[in-house]
Amino acid sequence: MQQSKLIVVFIIMMGVAAGYFYYTQIVTETVIPPIPSSNSKDDLETLSAINLDFSIFDNEIYKSLEQFGESPVSYGIIGRKDIFAPVK
């Protein structure tokens, strides 16, 4: 009986020690984001190299699309002035 209590206490102590070491490893681990390297090209120069194809707007299917409803959408009056007032 005495030996089984000793084994249980030993297992609990090992679990507490393992949990402590695991927790301290996670908490103290800091992640430093990498510093972006400075490129010789400017961002605007990079964007100037992009070629966009606007031929989709010349398609007959695109030109046949119609707008339904009002634009911009009028939301009107929504909600209540006093949200905490009792409902009548």
Render pLDDT for 6-63 as a digit per residue (tens, 0 to 9).
Answer: 999 999 999 999 988 888 776 555 667 777 666 555 667 777 778 888 998 999 999 9
Print the domain residue range for 17: 1-27
Asked if residue 56 lies in contact with residue 62, where contact means CB atoms within 8 angstroms, the answer is yes
> Has residue 37 been placed in a domain?
no
> Has residue 22 been placed in a domain?
yes
**What is the predicted pLDDT for the residue at 35?**
73
pTM, to two decimals: 0.30
CA distance 44 to 84: 51
> Has residue 46 been placed in a domain?
no
CA distance 13 to 7: 10
> Has residue 7 been placed in a domain?
yes
> Has residue 75 been placed in a domain?
no
Overall number of domains in the chain = 1
> What tokens does 58 get?
């010349």
- E runs forming strands in the chain: none
For 62, the enclosing helix (H) or strand (E) is helix 60-63
> Has residue 36 been placed in a domain?
no
The better pLDDT of the pair 10, 4 is held by: 10
